[in-house]
Amino acid sequence: MDKLVVEGGCKLNGNVCVSGAKNACLPILAAVLLTDDECVISNVPDLKDVTTMLKILGALGRRVEREGAVVRVSAGSVTNVTAAYELVSTMRASIAVLGPLVAKYGRAKVSFPGGCVIGPRPIDLHLKGLRALGAEIKVQEGYILAEVKRLKGKRIYLGGHFGSSVLATANTLMAAVLAEGKTIIENAACEPEISDLINFLILMGAEISGNGTPTLKINGVLKLKGAEYSVIPDRVETGTYMIAAAATGGCVFIENAKPEHNAALIDKLLEAGVVVKEHSGGVEVCRGKDRLNAVDITTLTYPGFPTDLQAQMMSLTSVSNGISVITEKIYPERFIHISELNRMGANILLEGATAIIKGVRSLSGAPVMASDLRASAALVIAALVAEGKTEISRIYHLDRGYEHLEEKLSGLGARVKRIDG
């Protein structure tokens, strides 16, 4: 298994270009199933999760070609409606094919995605949305079986214990666009990735209003057409480079970034004493002072502070001046990085879903293990800050969500290399 070896103590400086958003691209690729026409999606990042989604489309019978950041799904119909365990079990976002399949073909068989290292990840809201639209759903031998003649529009409240759900909103929305009549989704997720999906669906001929708000109104249509679409830049990748720049004390310009998608992060970085300059073509981040201030963070649904940047901010606050408090309100168990950061000399205590971080002056390199995608990014940031060498194992997690990570970091002056381990 590959390892990442990082020699710490280097300030990141220079320009880095952000890739297309993984979490926008995955449901958009699933939405292609809603039409038999050709679709061309560009700004698609070269990531393992994207490859998995393309394999799923292929296994369903669609012809997929990829050239650089452009994916072409040829005109044609699916030849079967089963998304098998072997693929779905490697990526939860595979569940996004459920809504399109049942809406277009009236049948779907999708493996139950199961739990994951960041805590329980139920799918009750996905099923609630589809059932409300009239789908008969049962779970059998580890598969979700959905069937319906034609879905029927309905008013649906899609909130759960932790608020709105990104992929349940995507699934319900993708089903509703081909349903008969009008659907209203209340408490829809407002994440930019959902807005991107809506823009793509509208281009395909869907009738949706309320984009960017928690109330989506959809007039079902009989048929959607093919479309060409470019995916938005990745706000989590952007945020990760912003935090890395601030943590290492350098000055980095992140090209193509949309700072308006990172407002909550920018607010916290400014509070910490980081200098952030927003430009139309990207965002520039420089460390404003020798030691940054402690900050308190609570993760929330958009536009609140994203859970996908919680771990990276924990690395930054590990070496800030004072005590920071980070509370996780989306995935209360998403703290697996704490023990690894403490191995590197951080002083972090976990109390329920709240981490108390007593800032230390420095971290020291150590062998550590990546556990999930964003926790791995947090370890990379900690390793860049630390004195000495850090060896991060199980970095296949990083390949799921960060395109060309070593190349991008090396371009900013980091001493990073991948070795076969």
Q: Binding of ligand EPU at residue 214 (CB under 6 A)?
A: no
The question of whether 116 is a catalytic residue gets the answer yes
Q: How far is the CB of 312 from ligand EPU (least distance, A)?
A: 11
- Residue 121 interacts with ligand EPU (CB under 6 A): yes or no: yes
Four-point Cα dihedral 38, 41, 45, 47, nearest 10: -30
| Nearer to ligand EPU (CB atom), residue 122 or residue 413 | 122
Mark 79-118 with x for binding to ligand EPU (rule: CB under 6 A) and - for no binding: -------------xx-------------------------
Rounded CA-CA distance 333/5 in Å is 27
Query: How far apart are the two ends of the chain, measured CA to CA in Å?
Result: 5
> Contact region for ligand EPU (CB under 6 A) — 37-45, 133-141, 158-166, 215-223?
158-166
DSSP 262: G
Nearer to ligand EPU, 9 or 160 (CB): 160
Q: Which of residues 344-383 bind ligand EPU (CB under 6 A)?
A: 373-374
Q: How many CA atoms lie within 13 A of 217 on its CB side?
A: 2
Helix (H, G, I), strand (E, B) or coil at 356: strand
Residue type, 74: S
d(CA 393, CA 252): 27
CB of 126 to ligand EPU, least distance (A): 5
Residue among 330, 363, 378, 398 that touches ligand EPU (CB under 6 A): 330
Residue 124 binds ligand EPU (CB under 6 A): yes
Nearest Cα residue to 37 out of 253, 255, 225: 225
Instruction: Name every residue whose Cβ is closer than 8 Å to that of residue 403 and which is 6 or more positions away in sequence.
Output: 19, 45, 46, 47, 237
Spatial distance between the Cα atoms of 110 and 71, rounded to a whole number of angstroms = 23
Q: Should residue 312 be labelled a site residue for ligand EPU when binding is judged by CB under 6 A?
A: no
* Interaction of residue 268 with ligand EPU, rule CB under 6 A: no
Tell which positions 386-415 bind ligand EPU, by CB under 6 A. Answer: 401
- Using CB under 6 A as the binding criterion, the count of chain residues that bind ligand EPU stands at 25
Do residues 298 and 291 touch, judged by C-beta distance below 8 A? no
Q: Cis ω on the peptide bond leading into residue 100 (within 30° of 0)?
A: no
β partners of residue 299 = 305
Which residue number, 149 or 161, has a Cβ lying nearer to ligand EPU? 161
Count the Cβ atoms, other than its own, within 10 Å of residue 353.
Answer: 18
Residue 49, C-beta contacts closer than 8 angstroms, at least 6 positions apart: 22, 26, 91, 93, 400, 401
**By CB under 6 A, which span of 28-36, 80-88, 157-165, 196-204 interacts with ligand EPU?**
157-165
| Minimum CB–partner distance for residue 165 and ligand EPU (Å) | 3
Q: Which of 25, 39, 116, 190 is catalytic?
A: 116
* Closer CB to ligand EPU, 233 or 401, in the complex: 401
125-154 binders of ligand EPU (CB under 6 A): 125-126
Question: Among 67, 79, 161, 352, which residue interacts with ligand EPU (rule: CB under 6 A)?
Answer: 161
Give, as ranges, the residues between 46 and 75 that touch ligand EPU (CB under 6 A).
Answer: none
Alpha-carbon Rg for the chain in angstroms: 21
161: tokens are 């214990």
| Contact pick of 168, 177, 245, 272 for ligand EPU (by CB under 6 A) | 168
Of the pair 48, 358, the CB lying nearest ligand EPU is at 48
- Find the angle CA(57)-CA(193)-CA(177) to the nearest 5 degrees: 65
CB closer to ligand EPU, 49 vs 406: 49
Assigned token pair, 42: 């560009």
Which residues are near ligand EPU by CB under 6 A?
23, 26, 92-93, 121-126, 160-162, 165-168, 193, 307-308, 330-331, 373-374, 401
So which residues are the catalytic ones? 116
